[in-house]
Structure 1
């Protein structure tokens, strides 16, 4: 289950405004906890008349549509609405986020999506379209006196999720929901986000547990799902993300990173130096030629080689180790130094082969 955190309680290396602006740009969710003092209503808005006979209307259907339009005029002041049984988090729309960034507060008139927990305690996003799929007619249609087999199904609907006071729980066909709706004041201090979406803005504590699924795809330290739990790249990716991509105030210098790798991963000095080279965002030394694989931090060369040479291999093949070194090393290969190419092959080599333990070099 994805972890949700309250933004105001996260130790950030940027302002909340900047973080929310980033999430808005990336179309990532910004949420508020569903308040206990309000009720949420799915308000159905007629959008289009359903043309049951395709683009060309028969005379009979044209007459039916005219009658339906007249019926709509008589009932247009009445909005169909259903009380939403349960919502955990409400997702803010782009316009509301823009206002929130500008003023630090926004009065929500409605939302178009919310999250609820499934039976497996996973968060599920509920949109207006999905709500209509589940509830083809309002869930309290009988109480509203809707003839669901005719009037309701003559139209397509959009849904906005709006708010009323908690005490308002019942709507009849003599009520006007628009008279009951209330704005929901929301401050930037009260928003929630998925932790994974803001990891690059979090001051990374060395003691804080980070796992490979926490690392976003935009990071050079990202390891694809099917490549995880195979090699040392998982541990190295976490170190690289923690000390560099996480934007700590004082990232370790190369010598300090080498010592960290020796202490934490028990690498020999030469192997630790190579690992530090591939983790450093601005490495000193000969880098790879192909910028599409890696530009700056060279860690992507390790994941690239693991996928290209070892993925789907069922047993150890010493020819593959030679191919990797040849691909990485010198002027005929990608241009890495002999030591970095040799130790890179050892670092990315999968553990699953019965060839025996890797030598500690």
Structure 2
């Protein structure tokens, strides 16, 4: 097996062109994104963009367990500050800047780009998937934006795609980190087609037979293949809960919303888990989620990524992120010592500070 962070191949098409295949290659870490992966993928996508022989790009990952379980937050832990301390270096800002540049590039990529989002797709994986014009899910797809568990916020464009979901679903998912499947992804607008995992090779063969390589034509060509599998989709989780989600997330009083979600006392396992995750989460994160989604409704895509980089660097500066990662993934004691310690203690000044740019010239000003 290659030890390259991303493996690149090509598939020959019927008309003599090629499809560039990029495969994230960190199966043991569930293809968690690190800087070598980000840099290699971005550079190759740029080369393929300029190569007339490349008609389209297919992005997948090694193994069947995960497309991408998120960013390599354990590596980011070392470059983040504990409460009251200074950042040890600029590694956190470098990582977030390059990750967001890649995510933004996927959104504006000029050639057809198909992402095979099978298995776990969380955090940074959602950023890769949601940026593509053709997003595919399978029966094993398991998605989430679980940043509340580590003192971060739904980044990688989460402000943009969560703010554009049906009803109040985006807010609920950002607050609770609730997991959802491929059927839910289609409903939320995070995916375009469902294909059983076993049909990947058949789909690639079908794609290679395309004659028109415009984005719209490839989109329709791929979705035509997907149409035969709707009866194999897993049972929906979001849409059946939409009325409840809209009810508990109604209004602008966030503390009331938190109480409504965490106070659930029914027997629905999905809602029970969502309630527990929120109750144990970083007290600052829900307030960040509410504000970032409100602001994103009035921002274009580039401004969203600029806002999120400001928030991400401040998250690395202020201590919440380092403490969350420590408790969940470093010491694994699952007992984070948050500051502030409760939702009720969070003040507007705490939240406003996350949106104040810590740089004189924004690193993403050129997007």
Q: Report TM bin, short chain.
A: under 0.3
Which structure: greater helix fraction?
2
Which structure: greater strand fraction?
1
State the TM-score, normalized to the length of structure 2: 0.24
Greater Rg over alpha carbons, structure: 1
